[in-house]
Amino acid sequence: MPRGAEAVEAAIRAANERGEAAFIPFIEGADPDPGLTEDLLWTLAEAGAEVIELGFPFSDPLADGPTIQEAAQRALRHRPTIPFFLEMISRMRRAGFEVPVVMMGYLNPFFRLGLRRFAKEARKAGLDGAIIPDLPLEEAGEWLREAKSRKLAAVMLAAPTTPPERLEKIAQASSGFLYYVSITGITGERDRLPDDLALKLDLARELSPVPVAVGFGISKPSQVKNLAPFADAIVVGSAIVKLISRLADDPKRMLREVGDFVRSLKEATVRS
């Protein structure tokens, strides 16, 4: 199996060829504890995830809403490190785990470790790439070079307020996929998504050489179903993280219900 950006894009394109949007669930690493993160990753894979977004907890997650902020605070009590997660991914790859995994984290921990070291060790471990939401295109040169040299996915973000010219530049710089933020503001469940989101996704897909994933605010199978024809992949995070938090004291039930919920979301990605 290929790894890195190639694996991420291939997994999304394969779902599209089956007449589906790819499904990308997000969980916060080490929440509720580091030991359960590995079990959750296996559960997400078995429930049909094409790609998994693994959050690295940070003390000041600017783009995240209360649900993921609280998960990060719970996770930080365990003092997780990037090398810890890379060792976990390496162990899972040796055990036959094949679903592509990208790490979502803020720049400071990656910078402290060293972007070159991170890229080298991520590739060796079998991590497929990273999303660094507080790293704008103008400041991303070093990370983009290191990711390209190791063939890792460097997933960049675009927003509804991004002008078309800039959107195209961000898409051209991205590898694996382009992350299109559905709403302005922070992550979190929403009852309603913008009326013009489908049109904005059409434009993003027209301009982007890599698949376009949409995330932020998506929490229900009905929302996934409505968006599936307009996006190459769909990301759901806060609703899954909230379920994990609610059932943290009952791990067996948590894994079962997370699996069932993710299956319901994945089933909704089929384009009618």
Q: What's the confidence (pLDDT) of residue 184?
A: 59
Average pLDDT, integer, range 6-35 = 97
Average pLDDT, integer, range 217-242 = 95
Taking only the tens place, the pLDDT of each residue in 80-116 is: 999 999 999 999 999 999 999 999 999 999 999 999 9
Q: How many CB atoms lie within 10 A of CB 88?
A: 23
What the block records as the tokens of 74 is 């719970």
Average pLDDT, integer, range 27-33 = 94
Do residues 240 and 51 touch, judged by C-beta distance below 8 A? no
The residues annotated with a catalytic role in the active site are 53, 64
d(CA 113, CA 82): 8
Cβ within 8 Å of residue 89, ≥6 positions away: 97, 101, 125, 126, 127
User: Which sequence spans correspond to the domains of the chain?
Assistant: 5-155+218-262
pTM listed for this prediction:
0.94
Residue found by looking up tokens 């968006």 in the block: 227
What the block records as the tokens of 105 is 């984290």
Which of the two residues, 174 and 192, has the higher pLDDT score?
174
Do residues 265 and 221 touch, judged by C-beta distance below 8 A? yes
Tell me which architecture the domain covering 5-155+218-262 has in CATH. Alpha-Beta Barrel (3.20)
d(CA 220, CA 188): 12
Average pLDDT, integer, range 29-55 = 96
